[in-house]
DNA sequence: AATTCTCTTGATACCGGTAACAGAATCTCT
DNA sequence: AGAGATTCTGTTACCGGTATCAAGAGAATT
């Protein structure tokens, strides 16, 4: 293994100089920097993460908490994870995944928490390392999120522009902010056009949404649009409309939310509010690393604008 | 932060003794062990992973390579990851996720590799740390896998027992061992009953499978069963049969493979060959950690028996 | 020209563990 | 009882980095 010392000898400097070239390059003359860099390249030097961690009183570990009651196998999380993991790798950090099952709590340099709910606030405050939430919150904790309200507003506007007359909102029956925001986006646009909002909520399972359509099929006039709070619900709606013989998208439209994986499984392919989750995961990671570098300084929030991807489930 | 030294003082011993209590308890008298343990508990001692790693010339990092050309957002991988991550946490290891995008290659103590193909063998051999494959291989590399052949054999047997006369295999058009094994399981059972195997292959997308059914609908007699190499394909088959007005499960049966997430999305719910991926991930991790502890000694392989979960897509 | 200041580099100690060796205490055996 | 073997515990050095302080060179100030 190549160490700082090896590089230092090769470049005829002290290892302290090499360390400086890496961490405080502005303190070293260009001449030496060049020497050191070429020595590093020649020897293919890789810093020893453990040594660095020890010296800095760090761990180089970030923990990701997935607190949701929801299904952790949702493709959503995998995308988030990819975004986070890739960014961590770049900065020589590694990852520990924590779910409600295993709550060991070894040390770490920071936390990313997703699925945060109000009741979690108390114990989260006790965490000693910097943390960033993935998902909005009203406690002033730094976060990254999608503009949920904008997402459903886009969807609703689009539905109205395309001439759907009856717009229903199919929500997730869960007490979380993202859901309120999505409903609000829908409600606002409905009111703007003097329409009466109609919201129905289910557990996030395609079957429940499908069952609802089946039971109430007679009540849905033609030219209805179902704006859903997840692609998973949208899939159920779509499936049952087809089974009842409804024509998608002419007589009935469906719009999903997420755009991660299920939108591709659906047929006809779903018009959906797409979140760039991988990118958001990366941003979240960067925010956290910056926060670590700045003694836990406040970072504020970053909200991503979702995009309405128009496919075959709306006219 | 509580260190070994703090514990040592509290227990009136040297820190070496504390270290031994943790790593070589057989070398310490019971008397002292008790003292040290109670001191550790009282101070809530947590070992410093970085220091341990540095002293042992380790990293406490395991890398997970996902090499598949296939969609990394498949829920499949998330389950694998959960299994691996939970087990790593228990042993104070952390994780780095490596995909073909980011190939940084910092040091680590071991590798878990999934999506291995024959062409990968060469560079995999050059890896210096112990490795375990997730998925069978013929190079003698340690691995964990599902008994793929058994899985499709179970499915095929079940189909025949339930009286389906025409059994088709819908495979994934990919040059990997798991696919050959799945096809072999089907073929063997077909031959056992003097039936002629019929295999069609597609890229692993529900749409392609659906399109195939649509185009050839006239050719499928009633009482046909479609045994699929993935739930994703099965969903496409199911969807199109329904659209054509076929009766599931009376006239047409569908069996999927994986049992991770999509089987729940399908309607009617899929009969599927279920793999216990979380558990397999945990096993894989343990195999790797044991291998690391035993100077890279050969561990052989562990094959998990899949289970046929019977639901509503077969009679 | 002497003093002070700035800039750059090096020597040292330390982060929190562990292996290897050394020393003390106990046990065995003649 | 004394020599040697056996247990058990402590001392020391080291893993590969980084912060801190000290020292030397050169520039700026008086």
CATH of the domain at A258: 3.40.50.2300
Helices B277-293 and B75-90 meet at what angle, rounded to 10? Answer: 40
Question: What stretches of A174-232 adopt beta strand conformation (E)?
Answer: 198-202, 224-228
Tell me, yes or no, whether A242 and A158 share the same domain.
yes
Quick check: is B56 in a domain? no
Residues 6 or more apart from A96 whose CB is under 8 A from it? A61, A62, A63, A64, A106, A108, B85, B88, B89, B94, B95
A140-149 mean pLDDT: 96
Tell me, yes or no, whether B18 and B159 share the same domain.
no
pLDDT confidence of residue A101 = 59
Interface of B with A in 19-58 (CB under 8 A): 46, 48-51, 53-54, 57-58
B6 CA to C23 C1' distance (Å): 24
Contact status, residue B32 vs residue B17, Cβ threshold 8 Å: yes
Tell me, yes or no, whether A225 and A244 share the same domain.
yes
Give the model confidence (pLDDT) of B102-119 as tens digits: 556 678 999 999 988 888
Query: For residue B260, what is the DSSP state?
Result: S
Dig out the tokens for B242 from the structure. 């329904």
pTM: 0.91
Query: For residue A42, what is the DSSP state?
Result: H
d(CA A286, CA A84): 9
Q: Assess whether pLDDT exceeds 80 at residue A100.
A: no
Q: Which helix (H) or strand (E) holds B239?
A: helix B231-243
Tell me, yes or no, whether A254 and A290 share the same domain.
no
Size of interface A-B (CB pairs under 8 A): 149
Dig out the tokens for A239 from the structure. 């499936």
Helices B177-192 and B148-161 meet at what angle, rounded to 10? Answer: 30
Residue indicated by tokens 């993202």: A178
Quick check: is B312 in a domain? no
Contact status, residue B218 vs residue B196, Cβ threshold 8 Å: no
pLDDT confidence of residue A106 = 79
Quick check: is A29 in a domain? yes
Give the model confidence (pLDDT) of B89-103 as tens digits: 989 999 998 876 655
Quick check: is B180 in a domain? yes
Query: For residue A309, what is the DSSP state?
Result: E
Tell me, yes or no, whether A253 and A288 share the same domain.
no
pLDDT confidence of residue A71 = 66
Tell me, yes or no, whether B237 and B134 share the same domain.
no
d(CA B182, CA B169): 9
d(CA B248, CA B225): 10
Range of the domain at A28: 1-38
Quick check: is B203 in a domain? yes
Tell me, yes or no, whether B158 and B267 share the same domain.
yes
Question: Longest Cα pair distance anywhere in chain A, in angstroms?
Answer: 85
Tell me, yes or no, whether B214 and B229 share the same domain.
yes
Tell me, yes or no, whether B232 and B269 share the same domain.
yes
Quick check: is A309 in a domain? no
Interface of B with A in 90-149 (CB under 8 A): 90, 92, 94-99, 101-102, 104, 106-107
Number of domains in chain A: 3
Q: Assess whether pLDDT exceeds 80 at residue A80.
A: yes
Using a 10 angstrom Cβ sphere, with 0-12 exposed, 13-18 middle and 19 or more buried, the burial of residue A269 is middle
Quick check: is A55 in a domain? no
Residue with nearest Cα to nucleotide D15 C1': B55
Tell me, yes or no, whether A162 and A245 share the same domain.
yes
Tell me, yes or no, whether B95 and B118 share the same domain.
yes
The nucleotide lying nearest A27 (C-alpha to C1') is C8
Quick check: is B32 in a domain? yes
Tell me, yes or no, whether A25 and A93 share the same domain.
no
Confidence of residue A99 (pLDDT cuts 50, 70, 90): confident
A225-235 mean pLDDT: 97
């Amino acid at each position: 293994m190549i160490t700082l010392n090896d590089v230092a000898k090769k470049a005829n400097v002290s290892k302290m100089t090499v360390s400086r070239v890496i961490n405080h390059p502005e303190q070293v003359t260009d001449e030496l920097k060049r020497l050191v860099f070429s020595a590093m390249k020649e020897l293919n030097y890789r810093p020893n993460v453990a040594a660095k961690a020890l010296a800095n009183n760090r761990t180089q570990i970030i923990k990701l908490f997935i607190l949701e009651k929801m299904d952790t196998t949702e493709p959503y999380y995998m995308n988030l994870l990819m975004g986070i993991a890739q960014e961590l790798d770049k900065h020589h950090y590694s990852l520990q995944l924590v779910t409600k099952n295993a709550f060991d709590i070894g040390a770490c340099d920071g936390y990313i928490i997703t699925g945060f709910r109000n009741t979690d606030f108390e114990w989260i405050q006790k965490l000693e390392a910097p943390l960033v939430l993935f998902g909005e919150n009203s406690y002033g904790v730094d976060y990254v999120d999608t503009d949920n309200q904008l997402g459903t507003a886009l969807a609703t506007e689009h539905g109205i522009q395309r001439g759907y007359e009856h717009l229903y909102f199919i929500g997730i029956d869960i007490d979380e902010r993202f859901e309120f925001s999505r409903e609000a986006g829908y409600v606002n646009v409905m009111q703007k056009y003097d329409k009466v909002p109609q919201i129905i909520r289910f557990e996030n399972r395609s079957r429940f949404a499908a069952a609802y359509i089946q039971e109430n099929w007679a009540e849905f006039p033609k030219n209805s649009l179902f704006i859903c709070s997840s692609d998973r619900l949208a899939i159920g709606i779509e499936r049952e409309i087809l089974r009842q013989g409804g024509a998608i998208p002419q007589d009935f439209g469906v719009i999903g939310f997420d755009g991660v994986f299920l939108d591709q499984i659906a047929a006809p392919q779903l018009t959906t509010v797409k979140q760039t989750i991988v990118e958001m995961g990366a941003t979240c990671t960067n925010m956290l690393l910056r926060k670590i570098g700045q003694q836990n300084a406040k970072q504020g929030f970053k909200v991503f604008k979702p995009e309405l991807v128009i496919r075959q489930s709306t006219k």
